[in-house]
Amino acid sequence: MAILLDLQKVALQGTDRALLEDFFLTISSGDRIGVVGINGVGKSTLLRIIAGDLKPDSGDIRRGRGVQVGMLDQIPHLPDGSVREALGTGWQVDAALDRLGMLSSAETDTAHLSGGQLKRVALARLFAEPNDVLILDEPTNHLDLGAIQWLEQQIINFRGAVVLVSHDRFLLDQVTTRMVEIDRGKTFIHAGGYSRLLEAQAEREEQAASAEQTRRNLARTELAWLRRGVKARSTKPQARIDAAQRLIAQRPQAAAREGSLDLSIDTPRLGTMVIRTHNVAFSYDNGRPILNDVNFEIGPGDRVGVVGPNGAGKSTFLHLLAQTIEPSKGTVKRGPTVVTSYFEQSGGDFDLDLTVQELVAGPQGVPGSVADVALMKRFWFTGALPSTRARELSGGERRRLQLLLALAQRPNVLFLDEPTNDLDLETIRLIETFLSQWSGTLIVVSHDRTFLSRTTDRLLEVHEDGTIADIPGGIDAWIARATGAITESATGEPATALSTAAPLGVSRGRRLRDAEKEMSRLNRRRDSITAKLLASHDHEEQSRLGTELDSVQSSLNAAEDDWLKFVE
């Protein structure tokens, strides 16, 4: 493998802390390197240093002779002119545009593209250029699942090296050969993908806890030694006294964030009827149909994921269910106990000139009250952040504020539209944990396959013809079919083509967590079906729900058997 870039002892100081300290990284052809860390830790900064757009305070960056580096920014920039002029011609370009759903927009001016369209065209342009190293900053933002699969294949087939920052854990596990973790100026490099990173983090935390316990035991011993009589102290070597005092004064490294993200909220109880649509259709003013004859019911505790190509109408579907827009035809009915909250893909409509504490207090509240301070602290808005104007927050901080404002309404039905965009992996994992324990009803549009797998148990696909259909087996079966692991049988039902045994090399702990997640998902599904069955007075519906309940219970029994195998 040819060495393309070599970073030696790179350091960079931020405004109030070190972003990088003595960072070493060799990038060779064939490398697929993922970069992770909490928001604001310096991930995008590292990418700019590797790309040559930012000079570090110290250290050397050596680039191989003739090595070309291409970079995709979080918000990409394209030259003026049409999409075709930006990309050039050739069957490869047409194939990429077709797979990314942009072939019909080839003559569109780049200045008129949406954020998602801009990202797709920029990706097609980057892979068409003769680069040796590709640097990708959150490349999956605004991409639908089909486009993400295209991106995965492009990364795998690329002959050079790829360095990417992404919150898409499925993508990281699929393509990366090494992971770079940035934590308070220090960097840790792990062989393998995202799963190996998690195992290494757990090992490091255990070692740190063991080292801190050893330090405390030594400190107690040294403290007892120092406290001996005055005469004894006077004969003690000064060097050992100084060393003992330093040991006692030591403290474990402070956490990157104070405490954990506490999302616990009181949720009003839901009745048996939540949301029901009947023959719903929707068209915008231009007359193009977006949704057509949608019949859909959501019950208490349902966890529904919504997927589909960009522009098919996923966000429109959510707005119809939330009753923020009216259908062109049909009805949307909501239960009397429903309290909704909407997490917008665009980032919400709050006033960017207000401070965090003003937004949390609301128009009727007093900014900075004791209750609001406690609430903001639970969402990591501490120090100077409460008095910071919303427009001055980072992308991740704005999304966290948006989530805070959504949950502060105490909803029992939560609509999430692309909730993982701009959030770091630590925050995303904590939100997943909250949603797994939350008793309300969830409807989420997301391209994040891991997030969908961990938070939903029913998947709907919005088609370009305006219809909506259930995906049997949820997101995991959808992924398996898309990758060829599951094929459609003659009856149209999914047939498993591969063994369900865990792949070789997967840790026992990870398989145990997966089994627990599956049991939790099936328990929620069983409870939801049971509630519907008890409330139903329709014999046909009762028969259908009874059959479905038997199937879910069988799956739950099997999942419990798997779990027992792993704990024995």
Q: Indicate whether 268 belongs to any domain.
A: no
Tell me what the mean pLDDT of segment 15-22 comes to.
82
**β-pairing verdict for 441-445 and 303-307:** parallel
72 and 172 both lie in a single domain: yes
Task: Evaluate if residue 244 carries a pLDDT over 80.
Answer: no
What burial class does residue 104 get, using C-beta atoms within 10 Å of its C-beta: 0-12 exposed, 13-18 middle, 19+ buried?
A: exposed
422 and 279 both lie in a single domain: yes
93 and 139 both lie in a single domain: yes
284 and 358 both lie in a single domain: yes
Q: Is the pTM of this model over 0.85?
A: no
The confidence score (pLDDT) of residue 566 equals 66
**Each residue of 113-138: b (16+ CB within 10 Å) or e?**
beebbbbbbbbbbbbbeebbbbbbbb
The confidence score (pLDDT) of residue 501 equals 36
Highest mean pLDDT among 205-209, 419-423, 490-494: 419-423
538 and 559 both lie in a single domain: yes
Reported confidence tier of residue 243, pLDDT bands at 50, 70, 90: low
How far from each other are the two terminal CA atoms of the chain, in whole angstroms? Answer: 44
Specify the amino acid at residue 352: L
Q: Indicate whether 166 belongs to any domain.
A: yes
Specify the range with the lowest mean pLDDT, choosing from 188-202, 450-464, 518-532. 518-532
423 and 520 both lie in a single domain: no
The confidence score (pLDDT) of residue 353 equals 92
Task: Evaluate if residue 337 carries a pLDDT over 60.
Answer: yes
Task: Evaluate if residue 2 carries a pLDDT over 60.
Answer: yes
Tell me what the mean pLDDT of segment 466-470 comes to.
89
The confidence score (pLDDT) of residue 86 equals 85
Tell me what the mean pLDDT of segment 324-336 comes to.
93
Q: What is the spatial distance between Cα 200 and Cα 35, in angstroms, rounded to a whole number?
A: 15
The confidence score (pLDDT) of residue 155 equals 94
Give the closest residue to 121 by CA, choosing from 79, 163, 162, 91: 79
- DSSP assignment string, 59-81: EEEEE-TT--EEEE-SS----SS
In the chain, what are the helix, strand and coil shares in percent, each to the nearest 5?
40, 20, 35
Reported confidence tier of residue 425, pLDDT bands at 50, 70, 90: confident
Q: What is the spatial distance between Cα 44 and Cα 42, in angstroms, rounded to a whole number?
A: 6
Domain coverage including residue 326? 275-496
Task: Evaluate if residue 486 carries a pLDDT over 70.
Answer: no
Q: What total number of domains does the chain contain? A: 3
**β-pairing verdict for 58-63 and 3-13:** antiparallel
Give the closest residue to 351 by CA, choosing from 386, 396, 316, 398: 398
14 and 153 both lie in a single domain: yes
Specify the range with the lowest mean pLDDT, choosing from 160-169, 207-216, 221-230. 221-230
Task: Evaluate if residue 321 carries a pLDDT over 90.
Answer: yes
Q: Which CATH number belongs to the domain containing residue 423 in this structure?
A: 3.40.50.300
Neighbouring residues of 378: CB distance < 8 A, sequence distance ≥ 6: 259, 261, 262, 263
What burial class does residue 521 get, using C-beta atoms within 10 Å of its C-beta: 0-12 exposed, 13-18 middle, 19+ buried?
A: buried
349 and 307 both lie in a single domain: yes
Specify the range with the lowest mean pLDDT, choosing from 225-239, 271-285, 338-352. 225-239
Q: Indicate whether 536 belongs to any domain.
A: yes
Reported confidence tier of residue 51, pLDDT bands at 50, 70, 90: very high
Q: Which ranges constitute the DSSP H helices of 250-309?
A: none
Q: Which residue has the higher pLDDT, 236 or 215?
A: 215
pLDDT, tens digit (0-9, with 9 covering 90-100), for 139-172: 998 888 888 888 999 999 999 999 999 989 889 9
The confidence score (pLDDT) of residue 258 equals 52
Count of Cβ atoms closer than 10 Å to residue 463 Cβ = 14
Q: Indicate whether 129 belongs to any domain.
A: yes
The confidence score (pLDDT) of residue 555 equals 86
Last residue of a domain, one of 197, 222, 257: 197
Last residue of a domain, one of 496, 529, 553: 496
Reported confidence tier of residue 389, pLDDT bands at 50, 70, 90: very high
The confidence score (pLDDT) of residue 484 equals 60
Q: Indicate whether 210 belongs to any domain.
A: no
pLDDT above 70 as % of the chain = 82
Summary mean pLDDT of the chain: 81
Helices (H) and strands (E) in the chain, counts: 18, 20
289 and 364 both lie in a single domain: yes
488 and 529 both lie in a single domain: no
Q: Indicate whether 208 belongs to any domain.
A: no
Count of Cβ atoms closer than 10 Å to residue 96 Cβ = 22
Tell me what the mean pLDDT of segment 61-79 comes to.
91
107 and 193 both lie in a single domain: yes
Task: Evaluate if residue 54 carries a pLDDT over 60.
Answer: yes
Q: What is the spatial distance between Cα 355 and Cα 362, in angstroms, rounded to a whole number?
A: 11
pLDDT above 90 as % of the chain = 27
Q: Indicate whether 390 belongs to any domain.
A: yes
Tell me what the mean pLDDT of segment 419-440 comes to.
82
Reported confidence tier of residue 487, pLDDT bands at 50, 70, 90: very low
- DSSP assignment string, 364-420: TS-TT-HHHHHHHHHTT--TTGGGSBGGGS-HHHHHHHHHHHHHTT--SEEEEESTT
pLDDT, tens digit (0-9, with 9 covering 90-100), for 493-523: 443 332 333 333 445 555 665 676 677 777 7
Q: Indicate whether 95 belongs to any domain.
A: yes
Last residue of a domain, one of 139, 169, 197: 197
458 and 539 both lie in a single domain: no
